[in-house]
Structure 1
Amino acid sequence: MSTTGSSHIQGPQKLGPLTPLVGEWEGNVGVDLSYHNLTDETSETGYFEKASFKPIPIQENGKQTLWGLNYSMTAWRHGEEAMDPFHDEIGFLLWDRENSQVIRNVVFGRGIAVLAGSTAGPRDTTLHFNATPGDPCYGVLQNKYLKERAEIKEFISSFTINEDGTFSYTSDLLLRLVALGAEMRHTDVNTLHRVKRFHPSEEIN
């Protein structure tokens, strides 16, 4: 179920609930909870993150019309901001107004591709992007190495526009880890603030 909250944005919203995300964002309070192979332990890692959400042309599939954003999210461990990021993802967020669906089409640099989504209303402030391997609509693909050693069993994620104008997300992967002989959850959370707005008169590359 999606969560509906009050919104200060009025007037037409072709992007539906994706409208408040347009712009560039930064957040320095990220926390990654995951299993670390080198130390053979599960621990938390703090991180800094940049995100960008830019409108794309209208997409049409026959009688289906999609409005959306292309986006990227890149994260650096605290203290490693001048080094290579430890996480990078690119993709699209799509709004299917007619069918009340939000869709997240994302690929991760680790060799993972996800098409996730759920039901949402045009003014919802919390959006859910969920996927399960093998699902014909909202599913998960991963490279052979990961499938054999750290298989994704479930992908659960949500984006929330907060009352103060910040943007928060949670990401939860249920993994079957061969190294542990058990399943565990890999979670990421962060809150970002907008550092740049995009205006229709601007050229967006």
Structure 2
Amino acid sequence: MSEIIQGPQKLGPLTPLVGEWEGDVGVDLSYHNKEDETSKTSYFEQAVFKPIPIQENGRQTLWGLNYSMTAWRHGEEAMDPFHDEIGFLLWDRERQLVLRNVVFGRGIAILAGSSAGARDTELRFDASPGAADFGILQNPYLLERAEITAFNSVFTLKDPETFSYTSDLVLKLAQTGESMHHTDENTLKLVKRYHPGSQFN
């Protein structure tokens, strides 16, 4: 379906992500308030990554993608998704940084990032509350009930048609008085490739 892209790439390490993806081996580990227990949920997921116009902040130039990731529990694919996020992935070539600006439908906003070279195949996105650059915001209810104390995520580009990710939200739970790792992981396959030089509205 696709080949390794050679030559200059304005999107840097984000280039292989451009397109539509699906994954059916997702696993979510989280605390369930109703059952007062931590358990795993398997899920199906769709992800879309589309190039955006160049972004210029004075002397800073950013290239990037807008994206969405939506997940349904197995057996509930015809129902509402249990997870939905939208955001931007950005590449700062001069500073060798990748940025992930993500908003979750639960009332959470995160700007995460780390260093990355133009051809890196493992992209880290880290954030912590209170940070002036890579930080975390959440709505007042969640701040009281499940305060996020760390966010760490990794995208791994395995080959031109496969990428996987892990995500770890460290939560301080009011219900138990303890911290826990809310984790998600999945492997997705390319179902439609967009031209990486294109721009979409």
Aligned length: 199
Q: Tell me, what secondary structure is at the counterpart of 2:150?
A: strand
Q: Scaled by the length of structure 1, what TM-score is found?
A: 0.94
Q: Which amino acid aligns with 2:186?
A: N
Counterpart pick for 1:140 among 118, 136, 153: 136
**TM (normalized to structure 2)?**
0.96
- CA change 1:58–1:86 in 2 (3 A) is same
**CA 201–57 in structure 1, closer or farther in 2 if over 3 Å, else same:** closer
Determine which of 73, 77, 94 is the counterpart of 1:77: 73
- Please, which of 147, 159, 163 is the counterpart of residue 159 of structure 2? 163
| Residue of structure 1 equivalent to 2:100 | 104
What is the RMSD computed on CA atoms of the aligned residues?
1.5
Match of 1:40 in 2: 36
1:3 counterpart residue number: none
Identity %: 73
2:175 corresponds, among 175, 179, 182, to 179
Matches within 5 A, 1:1-205: 8-163=4-159, 165-199=161-195, 204-205=200-201
Q: Deviations over 1:107-160 (max 9, x none)?
A: 000000000000000000000000000010000000000001100000000101
Give the superposition deviation at 1:199: 2.6
3-state DSSP class of the match of 1:145? Answer: helix
Distance 2:97 2:198 in 1: 29
Matched residue SS, 1:185: strand
- Once residues 48 and 189 of structure 1 are traced to their aligned partners in structure 2, the CA distance between those partners, rounded to angstroms, is 11
What amino acid is the match of 1:77? R
- Counterpart residue type for residue 62 of structure 2: L
User: Post-superposition shift, 1:190?
Assistant: 0.2
| Contact 2:22–2:47 (Cα < 8 Å) also in 1 | yes
Q: 1:200 to 1:67 in 2, by over 3 A?
A: closer
Deviation at 1:9, TM superposition (A): 2.7
